[in-house]
């Protein structure tokens, strides 16, 4: 009876330990916190993490560079030599940034940049 009870406990512990969630590797685009060039050495670590740089490439090899400023809710986009700053907008899910001409949207790894309603970049 004691051996059966011990076997049941060991089996239960084994099964419980095998059902823990496994951490999946992230497939998000690389995001690197950068320091603001106007900040001083007295800036707090939290302020330095307000800027996040990310890049995306499309199927043709074109690169979209994005610098997100979480403190200002803006993103600065560099695409084909043009630099544009967009203001964050409310989105049901994913991200949405706009100005009068451009719109940057995305969810997960997918990013789309449109100019005057026409898609000019999509990965």
Q: Domain total for the chain?
A: 1
pTM, rounded to two decimals: 0.61
| Residue 24 counted as domain residue | no
Residue 115: exposed, middle, or buried by beta-carbon count in 10 A (0-12, 13-18, 19+)? middle
- Looking at residue 103, which CATH number applies to its domain? 2.40.128
Range of the domain at 56: 29-36+44-122
What confidence tens digit (pLDDT) does each residue in 76-105 have?
A: 999 999 999 999 999 889 999 999 999 999
pLDDT at 28 over 70: no
């Amino acid at each position: 009876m004691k051996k059966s009870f011990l076997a049941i406990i060991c089996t239960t512990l084994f099964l419980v330990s095998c059902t823990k969630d496994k951490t999946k590797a992230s497939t998000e685009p690389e995001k690197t916190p950068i320091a603001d060039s106007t900040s001083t050495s007295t800036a707090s670590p939290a302020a330095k993490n307000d800027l996040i740089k990310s890049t995306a490439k499309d199927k043709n090899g074109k690169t979209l560079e994005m610098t997100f400023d979480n403190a200002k809710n803006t993103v600065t986009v560099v695409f084909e030599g043009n630099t544009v700053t967009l203001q964050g907008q409310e989105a049901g899910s994913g991200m949405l940034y706009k100005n009068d001409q451009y719109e940057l949207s995305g969810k997960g790894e997918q990013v789309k940049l449109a100019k005057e309603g026409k898609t000019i970049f999509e990965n």
